[in-house]
Structure 1
Amino acid sequence: MSENLLTLSGVHTHIGAYHILHGVDLVVPRGQLTMLLGRNGAGKTTTLRTIMGLWRASQGRITFGGEDIAQLPTPRIAELGVAYVPENMGIFADLTVKENMLLAARGARSVQQIDRNRLEWIFSLFPAVEKFWNHPAGKLSGGQKQMLAVSRAIVEPRQVLIVDEPSKGLAPAIINNMIDAFASLKQSGVTILLVEQNINFAKRLGDSVAVMDNGVVVHAGSMKALAENEELQHSLLGLAL
């Protein structure tokens, strides 16, 4: 079994007339939390969307669990065990929290058919999901919506969880709660790929890191090594962690 669950090799992505990714090489080690960092416009979100098949790679390979998924449709990629939480969270505002969760639990026709032990585990990670179970999702705060978005992604077992900027716009207390939840997810064996701008979030959670600039990965290594090298941080990100 490969130690890398997800691998991108020479991936290019065009969106209309625009060439966004210029040969991305990225590895996501099995059982680890990989941070994908970079300035705005570096290609991070495009990379995530290309992995999910929402935008099609025009060149290169995307290998998941040994299978090339670069040309697979998004539903098939999800069926293989890849969960994606986009930056906008994708919450169905007019549905209740319960109904949002039921939609994500594709193997269940009713809430009673959702694995109860798994639900209790999710409630332990995100108590607000249980507290607002019967409330319209559109009435939740930003932090509560983010918790719901992650909860939907893990309501069924997944091999890898891909999340785009989970801490964006959240209060510090909610960010700490989110960090604890992702740490618990990692301990449960879920492989995680996170795009994040909150540097404290990245330092506390990341095992490995890849830094993007202008549509390519310009640095890859351990998160700890990057966090301890201020000169490298400045050269890659224009700031110190």
Structure 2
Amino acid sequence: MTGPILRLDKVHTHIGQYHILQGVTFDVPEGAFTVIVGRNGAGKTTTLRTILGLWKASAGSIRFRDAEISRLDTSEISRAGIAYVPESMGIFGDLTVRENMLLAARTGRFDKDRLDWVLGLFPPLRKFWGLAAGNLSGGQKQMLSIARAIIEPRELLLVDEPTKGIAPAIIEDMIDAFLELKRMNTTVVLVEQNFGFASALGDTVVVMDDGRAVHRGAMSDLAADQDLQQKYLGLSLHD
């Protein structure tokens, strides 16, 4: 791991009358997987959406490399090299797998070598290339959502709960795909409730509670320390 590619400093986010993020501070090391964990409603998804500018920070700083991005439009942040895989997946069910992928290719065409690499990560997408995406299983739709985000090189990938509602066999395939992304030194911020998945992939971890980052450190330390798990999460990764 090297220095931070992304830095959040005392970030606050209001949504209407609700004060969701309350001074969130953490760094994202370049070339590593940073996992954000915490109870439901802790502010994890809001953090990702605030980084991407879908919700605007009301105070604080978000720096991507050397640039302040907290006041930029989402389209500008995306063009800077940040991709987002939402929990809702956001695929177009009436379009084919190919058409969904093509929409994400900013040049309007595929780089053949990169396409082959992406489809190698998610083989079912090659099989169902000409099928309407709405006919895919939940796990296959999640594969498509991730594949679409990486069809072009990105400097930072934000992924929100990729295993939610996914069958265990698909989760194992997804771990293999993410491990390949790790081997390529892809920088990822991952929100995840499945702690087996999180601990298999995470280099660093941010624990959120009530809109704050209450713990930051190595994922291996949290995974090995049941007292920390009980303190911050109310459960054990070993359960």
Does 1:124 pair with 2:117?
no
How big is each residue's C-alpha offset from its partner over 1:86-128, in whole Å with a ceiling of 9 and x where there is no partner?
A: 00000101111000001000112xxxx3100000001110001
Which residue of the partner structure matches residue 215 of structure 1? 211
Gap runs ≥5 in structure 2: none
Which residue of the partner structure matches residue 134 of structure 2? 138
SS at 2:60 equivalent: strand
Which residue of the partner structure matches residue 8 of structure 1? 8
State the 4+ residue runs in structure 1 displaced beyond 2 angstroms. Answer: none
Does 1:89 pair with 2:89?
yes
How many residue pairs get matched? 236
Which residue of the partner structure matches residue 64 of structure 1? 64
Does 1:235 pair with 2:217?
no
Does 1:27 pair with 2:27?
yes
Which residue of the partner structure matches residue 107 of structure 1? 107
Which residue of the partner structure matches residue 200 of structure 1? 196
CA distance in 2: counterparts of 1:221 and 1:20, whole angstroms: 23
Aligned-residue offset at 1:26: 1.5
Which residue of the partner structure matches residue 172 of structure 1? 168
CA distance in 2: counterparts of 1:206 and 1:153, whole angstroms: 19
Aligned-residue offset at 1:129: 1.0
How big is each residue's C-alpha offset from its partner over 1:182-241, in whole Å with a ceiling of 9 and x where there is no partner?
A: 111121121000000001001111100000000000000000000010011001000000
How big is each residue's C-alpha offset from its partner over 1:126-150, in whole Å with a ceiling of 9 and x where there is no partner?
A: 0011111100000100000000000
SS at 1:21 equivalent: strand
SS at 1:135 equivalent: coil
Question: Normalized against structure 1, the TM-score is what?
Answer: 0.97
Gap runs ≥5 in structure 1: none
Quick one: which amino acid aligns to residue 43 of structure 1? G
Q: Percent identity?
A: 59
Question: Normalized against structure 2, the TM-score is what?
Answer: 0.98
SS at 1:144 equivalent: helix
Alignment RMSD (CA, Å): 0.7
Aligned-residue offset at 1:168: 0.5
Residues 178-197 of structure 1 mapped to structure 2, 5 A cutoff: 178-197=174-193
